[in-house]
Amino acid sequence: MSATDGAIAANRFGFGARPGDLRRLGKHGRDALLQQLHAPAPLIDEALPAAHELLAKVIAQREAARGTVRAVRALREIYQPAYVDDAGARARAAISRQNDFLERLVHFWSNHFAVSVDKLAVLGLAGAMEREAIRPHVLGNFADMLLAVEQHPAMLLYLDNQQSIGPASQIARQANRRGRELGLNENLGREILELHTLGVDGQYTQADVQALAAMITGWSIGGDAGRMRGGEPGRFFFRDAFHEPGERVLLGKQYAEDGIRQGEAALRDLAVHPRTARHLAIKLSRHFVADDPPPALVDRLTRAYLEARGDLPATYRALIQSPEPWRASLGKYKTPTEYVLSAYRALSLPFGTGMAELRVFELLGQRSFQPGSPAGWPDRSADWDGSAALLKRLQWAQELGQRLGSSRNAPQLADAALGASLSGSTREAIARAQDGAQGLALLLASPEFMRR
């Protein structure tokens, strides 16, 4: 199953073609993608609350209702509307924007730096982290994105770093004198090495995990009470009294004691480490090309990343200009999110507001911002193409076809959405449909539409 450059640009690198997109792209899909690398950062243009605003409300409510069930209820009352608004805004951006390659990249990096809203503490903050720490840096340098994410309240709360305390820190020594023992939390340090930079095969040791965890002690959030007092409510705050003093050795390099700058220096070095470059090259190649990425492509992206010192557009450019994405068959099975967004784009459907609109993602197995672990959603076809998952997609396609009926011309939409990747058998099946509803269902259920 093959496709022209325009169809590949729209369906493999974007969230699917809207009516008119393939005609606009024509044979110049690569050039259109390269032009997006010079576009403004893909920010959300809807007015949504910042993370620190939401957290400031939560802190105030928690103080007023400390020790009662009302504190948890107040947290959900503040966070649930923010979650709905953010999840809806990202869907609308992916559906409506012409520069949807940039939106795909936002989703890719958001999943790379995954936080999951099944932890109530980040229910209202996951979308804010994507808006504040990922979107501004999608066309920048990986080191800047890495620092922005690791210092964002959502990541700090998700991996419990806000209260990580060095055993030899000022506050730990005070606690020891009172017979209490405070200690290091390794969660964030471990995930930075295992997931965000070097990768699970990154050849780091437990000593490296402990060293990095110690270097980022004190990376916290301002505005609470007790030993957590100080700083502006809801914003990143470095608690010097929590910081583990002393020099540290990470991956064989020594880092002098320098407060907050010690951890920042370590992250900037990790961002340009050769194993980080390879880890990111593999993930990008797997996401955009194949479950088992071509080694030559991985090597090419690794070199581009290292030569550009972590400049992301240079890495994307190497991906776009490589031959592999443009000659491979449509072998990647769409995730539920990709499938739904591509259907909305193909059918020119508006995405409304409210929780009811978001339930389609949960119905098909991928609730927004809830991968369930710091590893994020899986990115291989085998994780999404099971028979039960396929049945849910077919049912949704039939229901959507029934709802739209004959308001859409299925044969025309099939050509507009899939172009040269539309097979003769699928084209014939849609043309022979008994009515418009069945025609749309056949389009959405076709192998070509299920894959990218």
Report how far residue 219's alpha carbon sits from residue 156's, in angstroms, rounded to the nearest whole number.
8
Per-residue pLDDT, averaged over 264-272, amounts to 98
pLDDT at 353 over 80: yes
Residue 364 in any domain: the answer is yes
What average pLDDT does the structure give for the chain?
95
**CA-angle at 150, arms to 149 and 154, nearest 5°:** 70
| pLDDT, tens digit, 9 for 90 and up, residues 275-311 | 999 999 999 999 999 999 999 999 999 999 999 999 9
Distance CA(11)–CA(333), nearest Å, equals 11
Closest CA to 124 of 71, 55, 60: 55
Please enumerate in sequence order all residues whose Cβ is within 8 A of that of 241, keeping only pairs 6 or more positions apart, or say none.
169, 170, 171, 218, 227
* pLDDT at residue 26, rounded to an integer: 85
CA atoms of 446 and 430, how far apart (whole Å): 9
Out of 53-67, 276-290, 394-408, which region has the weakest mean confidence (pLDDT)? 53-67
DSSP letter at 17 equals P
Confidence of residue 66 (pLDDT cuts 50, 70, 90): low
Closest CA to 161 of 191, 195, 134, 181: 191
Is residue 191 pLDDT above 90, yes or no? yes
The SS3 assignment for 258 reads coil
Q: Mean pLDDT, to the nearest integer, of 36-50?
A: 97
Average of per-residue pLDDT across 81-85: 98
What per-residue confidence (pLDDT) applies to 2?
A: 47
Residue 281, number of CB atoms within 10 A of its CB: 24
In sequence order, the 6+-apart residues with CB closer than 8 A to the CB of 138 are 41, 42, 102, 105, 106, 109, 145, 312
Q: What is the pLDDT of residue 4?
A: 81
Q: What is residue 112's three-state secondary structure?
A: helix
Instruction: Please tell me the least confidently modeled range out of 70-74, 98-102, 162-166, 254-258.
Output: 70-74
Domain count, the chain: 1
| pLDDT on residue 71 | 75
**393, part of any domain:** yes
Domain that holds residue 354: 336-450
Residue 1 pLDDT grade (very low, low, confident, very high; cuts 50, 70, 90): very low
Residue 310, in any domain of the structure: no
Domain contains 223: no
Q: How far apart are CA 191 and CA 178, in angstroms?
A: 32
- Whether 250 is in a domain gets the answer no
Is 136 among the domain residues?
no
Is pLDDT larger for residue 56 or for residue 181? Answer: 56
**In this structure, is residue 143 part of a structural domain?**
no
Q: What is the pLDDT of residue 448?
A: 95
Does 267 reside within a domain?
no
Q: Quick check: 200 pLDDT over 70?
A: yes
User: Of the candidates 253, 256, 258, 286, which has an alpha carbon nearest to the alpha carbon of residue 270?
Assistant: 253
pLDDT band, very low/low/confident/very high, at 67 (cuts 50, 70, 90): low
Backbone φ and ψ for 237, nearest 5 degrees, come out as -145, 130
Do 442 and 430 touch, CB atoms closer than 8 A?
Answer: yes
Q: For the whole prediction, is pTM greater than 0.85?
A: yes
| Nearest of 452, 432, 77 to residue 290 by alpha carbon | 452
